[in-house]
Amino acid sequence: MQDTVDPEDCTTMVEVRAGVDAVDRALVGLLARRFGYMEAAARIKPERGHVRDEARKAQVIANARAHARAAGVPEQAVADLWERLVEASIAYELEAFDRR
């Protein structure tokens, strides 16, 4: 994220806000890529019933928790975000499957 100041170097709220906005743009780009993988999954899975996989969902959330712990960010907040992200991804994949 060029043209932004690292968080530890921020001295003004303008810098903080510019950094947050840059991170948000990058996150949306990453989410677009993630949803692209949901499109691929919908194309590859042979049956609609294969879209929801509770074991995989639990694994994805556990992985996010572990990454949060390693990064020193609030684990529960990340787990909550990933719960919503995975559910949104499942809904998106179901829609993609139905469009096939």
Pick from 75, 98, 82: nearest CA to 31: 82
Pick from 75, 71, 45: nearest CA to 61: 75
Cα–Cα distance measured from residue 44 to residue 76, given in angstroms and rounded to the nearest whole number: 32
**45 labeled binding residue:** yes
**52 labeled binding residue:** no
Tokens linked to 18:
């510019």
**34 labeled binding residue:** yes
The per-type count for the chain, helices as H runs and strands as E runs, is 3, 0
Residues belonging to the binding site are: 17, 34, 45, 93
- Annotated binding site for substrate: which residue ranges? 17, 34, 45, 93
